[in-house]
Amino acid sequence: MVVYLSGLARRTPPRPCRVFWRELVTDSMSRISRAGSQPPFYHPPAFAEELAFARQLAAQASAVALERCRHLSPREKANRSFVTDLDLDVERLLRDRLAARFPEDALTGEEHDREGGDGPRRWSIDPIDGTGNLVHGLPLWAISIGLLVESPSGDGESAAESESSPPHPVVGVIAIPPLGETFWAVQGGGAWLDDQPLPPLAEWDAESFHPQDNVSLSTNALRRLDPRRVPGRIRDLGAACVELAFLAAGRLRAAVFLGEAEHDLAAGAVLLGEVGASIRRLDAEGTRLTPARLVAETPVRIPTLLGPRGRVDALFERLDPYATT
């Protein structure tokens, strides 16, 4: 049997399912623990404390989630999506720890109302992104922690420009516990997978797609667009945070979003900015967005393309005649 974990293949003898799962959890928790304790190689001093704390907190929450993910109590929300006791408890853990460390910051997330201070900074949390995957035993779910700042220091904006501009995503951490991977980024400090820097998306860019290129479309996008017009191999991973992380790492060559909320995008937007992703709406104007604008104008109401600029533009040309606004 060949086991794929974190992009590596290992040949192992057959084992009972429970034994395999226990070893998988142990391996993932070990990787997450190391990732959470490693200091980043570079980050702007203004957000050093926030970044380090968010990474440590993601590691702690990941360990809790891995311990409990096989024993869940799911129920349906009003929109018929799943929520579990783990979603609620992880968000409560994240909120309590962030509130204790940064009491002046506001807190928002998927499962609870706004809390905390009324300053210019706000943490946007998705405790478990991909709950449907989690409930059905699919190992693609994530914990997302993003920090939004109204007027980050050193951005050169005037007071009037600052008032009209959206909050800036400045710190983002996406942990994928089943894979033992943590993606993180800080404004001006690059994007990283654990202790490895992610290269700019320009390295993956091209004006066309290979038949084996992975292109992700959310379920909403698949229902809105004609998938026959999409090149490459279509993927719907069921977790926007995972898709953003994989896009930043080049595992996906492009993505199409529709319907995502702020907490789905806040952390991943920092990754997108640091790897130089292009973001373009599938509207008549082909509107280009910054990562900050993408997050601010949520939920995503118009199909939106993400990826290296050349591939995004090529995808736009293929899909534009079929867009519905």
Write down all domains in the chain, each with its CATH number in brackets.
2-197 (3.30.540.10), 201-322 (3.40.190.80)
Instruction: Give the span between the Cα atoms of 240 and 227, in whole angstroms.
Output: 18
Question: Sign of the CA dihedral 210, 321, 245, 142?
Answer: negative
Average pLDDT value for residue range 3-9: 40
Average pLDDT over the chain, rounded to whole? 85
* pLDDT of 213 higher than 90: yes
At 191, is the pLDDT very low, low, confident or very high (cuts 50, 70, 90)? Answer: very high
| Closest residue by Cα to residue 137 from 17, 1, 245 | 17
pLDDT of residue 112: 79
pLDDT of residue 120: 94
* pLDDT of 305 higher than 60: yes
85 marked as binding residue = no
Read off the pLDDT of residues 243-254 as tens digits, 9 standing for 90 and up.
999 999 999 999
27 marked as binding residue = no
Average pLDDT value for residue range 34-40: 50
129 marked as binding residue = yes
313 marked as binding residue = no
Q: Give the 3-state secondary structure of residue 250.
A: coil
Average pLDDT value for residue range 297-321: 94
Neighbours of 200 (CB within 10 A): 16
Read off the pLDDT of residues 9-28 as tens digits, 9 standing for 90 and up.
444 444 443 444 455 555 65
> Does residue 65 contact residue 128 with C-beta atoms inside 8 Å?
yes
Most confident of 29-38, 150-159, 277-286: 277-286
126 marked as binding residue = yes
Average pLDDT value for residue range 44-58: 88
Stated as kind and residue range, the H or E segment containing 94 is: helix 85-101
pLDDT of residue 24: 52
Instruction: Give the span between the Cα atoms of 272 and 281, in whole angstroms.
Output: 15
Partners of residue 235 on adjacent β-strands: 216
